[in-house]
Structure 1
Amino acid sequence: MNELQAILEGFESSQKNGEITFLATVVKTQGSTYRRPGAKMLMTNTGRMIGTISAGCLENDVFEHTQQRMSDGEPIVVTYDHTASEDILWDFGLGCNGIVQVLIERLEKESTPNAIAFIQECFHQKHLGIIATVFAFEGAVKVKLGSRLLLYPDGKFITDIKEANLIQSLIADSQAAFANQKSRVSNYQLPLGNVEVFIEVIQPPTHTVIFGAGHDAVPVAQFAQALGWQVTVVDCRANEATRVRFPLPCDVILSRREIVQKQVFINAHTNAVVMTHNYLDDREILKMLLPSPARYIGILGPKVRTERLLEDLRSQGIVYNTEQLRRLHSPIGIDIGADTPEGIAIAIIAEIQAVLTNRSGNFLRNRNQPIHQYNESNSNLLLTT
């Protein structure tokens, strides 16, 4: 279960228990910080906290703000400046030379637009979504702190923002965020003032399909689940014992290579790991995966074996283009010298993570750019009537 899933479940349980619930969201950072914009923490009036917004240094202080400053239920923004030496005096001492801005909101189940319900819908329907949230403004603009626009993949949107020009610009920027799947902070200059907005991309849990149900597939499933990914295991031997080896929350599909393409749904958000240890099974699975929209395809085994698989497919008159082959990773995993099932699983999961974030998987000490490479330079847009 990932952090957002835990927060969603925590919110549901808090409503059943009659607790007052707050949500803290990192909306803007500058310099080096432990968490990036979008990091969230759920808090209840009973002191329960789910998720993190720092390395553990800010959580208690943020909770105190919910108790001391939010009796009227209105959102607030708290800024933590760790570039100043005084932070040591305040016992924050993050060791990160950066600035963090945190939006704190009281959650109401019936509020509109409802960010929590929207995230839940994105997860259940397995689609992207955009939440554009106002966290700062100046002047006589028709917005409030915490006002937001929710954008669906089909272009439908819900908003409580009254500034028509701002709405149109937010829709355009949110659609751009859909395209590049990157959150951003934007500053809009309106005729009557300025508005700063965090445009957040909501991603459904990563879906990883593991073709193969041997003992070496178990740690792959376990590590993927530890990252909060949705895992499906496909056993082409149709062995009932597989359900015992991969208990819930894994989905287990018992299949045969002749019918596997009818039982497994692959979309653009699917990562596929092929480790059946059966050449004929791998060939049929590869025939299905390469023309599919899967964003990652990894095959266990030496490169020469995969080349032979591809050559067999070519002999059947099946030819794949460069773009299709670009998603194929063989041998699978990053080079960490792994030779145990657990080590190989770490290498596989690390490679998938690198592909998802468009990173190389090299040593961070050799990286000259910021670790998170978050675009902190706001876009400044002048909106006129």
Structure 2
Amino acid sequence: MKELYEIVSAYDRALQLGEQTALATVVQVEGSSYRRAGARMLVTDSGNITGAISGGCLEGDALRKARMAMHQQKPVLVTYDTTDDDDARFGVGLGCNGIIHILIEPINSGQPNNPVDFFKRFLSKRRPAVLLTVFNTEDRHAPQYGTCLIFDKVGGNTGALPADTISEAILVDAAHVLDNGNSATKTYYYQNNYTCFIELLQPAVALVIAGAGNDAIPLVQMAKLLGWQVTVVDGRANYATSLRFPQADKLVVAKPAEVTALVPADERTVFMLMTHNYNYDTALLRCLLPLQLNYIGILGPKKRLNRMLDEIMPGCSVPNHLFGPAGLDTGSENAEEIALAILAEIQAVLNKRNAAHLKTKPVIHDRAEQKNRV
């Protein structure tokens, strides 16, 4: 979500300066690529770029095409076929061995429900949403409708699908994506062959760090680098201060029993307990265990955690969402290395990955396209 925040901020700055903008979005990938579908960058007519659609090899060419799209005020679909060994003919030297479809949309600030308006709507709420982008890979002269609708279970639909698409089928599939948590790309065959990128947008991770010691400082800094929302909680007012944690989004001085009321949690909220105070950690863990959290991390040896659990729920096994000692086994020693190991573990848990070496996987991302004939 960090990229979306940055794109929105860059768009607002460009608007103030009277600059034109265009949004480039990776909408479909066949084979390998550096970024997958959903990667974006905002381009201004002065040449400023925010975000990324590749490892740096496509941005220059996409900038030129974005300026053309701004001039024509018409969305355009650009395809880079890097499966050809002689990819130097693109002048970008890719070598990714994949086919990458990028939709470039000029953004009209006077047009309601433009892509950035959708981003702002999503970012203003802490709930999952689905964003729909419609394009046509089979006929590039056909209208490329672009980012046209967003919806969630509470706010409903905003925007509209093109009239000549299978709207009902697309919305059914979009609801399925929202329920199951995986983005999808589907082609719908009916009169015009449209492809719809059905993208799941998830709120930023909300990391609650219980413990305002010195070892929490790099954890806050690294989490903010990832674009996470960070709250620091401690019972000591002289520790949980903005001077010590200038990057924290929220500072809370509270007793353990007060924390859950002061820091509301949702499915994207994770807790890291590292106060180094056994009684505080135990009391807070007692409050957290009944909650539907995906991750609770505990700093310290396993013996300490087992003792805490024996006090809270004697005879019970360690819950699956409780991780102690927290962090991946990376041989970490100092506070910065431990912070890295903890954040990597949280990322793996939330993405339902086992944190194995990528070299052991035949495919990193499953990008099988689904097609519906209606």
TM-score (norm 1): 0.91
Residue identity over aligned pairs, in percent, reads 37
Give the match for residue 373 of structure 2.
382
**What amino acid sits opposite 1:382 in the alignment?**
R
**What amino acid sits opposite 2:106 in the alignment?**
R
Structure 1 residues 175 and 241: alpha-carbon distance in aligned structure 2, compared to 1, 3 A threshold: closer
The superposition leaves residues 263-301 of structure 1 with CA deviations (integer Å, 9 ceiling, x where unpaired) of 221111101111010111111111121111222111111
Give the match for residue 56 of structure 2.
56
Is residue 329 of structure 1 aligned with residue 323 of structure 2? Answer: yes
Is the 2:129–2:200 contact (alpha carbons within 8 Å) kept by the matching residues of 1? yes
**What amino acid sits opposite 2:357 in the alignment?**
F
In structure 2, distance between residues paired with 1:111 and 1:234: 43
**What amino acid sits opposite 1:65 in the alignment?**
K
Give the match for residue 255 of structure 1.
254
**Secondary structure in 1 matching 2:90:** coil
Structure 1 residues 214 and 240: alpha-carbon distance in aligned structure 2, compared to 1, 3 A threshold: closer
Structure 1 residues 127 and 110: alpha-carbon distance in aligned structure 2, compared to 1, 3 A threshold: farther
Is residue 180 of structure 1 aligned with residue 180 of structure 2? Answer: yes
**Secondary structure in 1 matching 2:72:** coil
What does residue range 47-86 of structure 1 map to in structure 2 within 5 Å? 47-86=47-86
**Secondary structure in 2 matching 1:332:** coil
Task: Report deviation, 1:161.
Answer: 2.5
Is the 1:210–1:272 contact (alpha carbons within 8 Å) kept by the matching residues of 2? yes
Is residue 105 of structure 1 aligned with residue 99 of structure 2? Answer: no
Is the 1:73–1:106 contact (alpha carbons within 8 Å) kept by the matching residues of 2? yes
What does residue range 149-164 of structure 1 map to in structure 2 within 5 Å? 149-154=149-154, 156-163=156-163
**Secondary structure in 2 matching 1:242:** coil
**What amino acid sits opposite 1:359 in the alignment?**
R
Is the 1:27–1:102 contact (alpha carbons within 8 Å) kept by the matching residues of 2? yes
In structure 2, distance between residues paired with 1:170 and 1:49: 32
Task: Report deviation, 1:89.
Answer: 3.4
| Structure 2 residues without counterparts, runs of 5 or longer | none
Task: Report deviation, 1:172.
Answer: 1.0
Task: Report deviation, 1:158.
Answer: 2.8
Task: Report deviation, 1:248.
Answer: 3.3
TM-score (norm 2): 0.93
Give the match for residue 346 of structure 1.
340
In structure 2, distance between residues paired with 1:164 and 1:152: 23
The superposition leaves residues 229-287 of structure 1 with CA deviations (integer Å, 9 ceiling, x where unpaired) of 11111112232563211013431111122422332211111011110101111111111
Deviating runs (4+, > 4 A) in structure 1? none
The RMSD of aligned alpha carbons is 2.1
What does residue range 187-202 of structure 1 map to in structure 2 within 5 Å? 187-190=187-190, 192-202=191-201
Task: Report deviation, 1:25.
Answer: 0.2
Is the 2:231–2:248 contact (alpha carbons within 8 Å) kept by the matching residues of 1? no
In structure 2, distance between residues paired with 1:241 and 1:209: 13
In structure 2, distance between residues paired with 1:156 and 1:248: 34
**What amino acid sits opposite 1:205 in the alignment?**
A
Give the match for residue 280 of structure 2.
281
Task: Report deviation, 1:44.
Answer: 0.3
Is the 1:33–1:98 contact (alpha carbons within 8 Å) kept by the matching residues of 2? yes
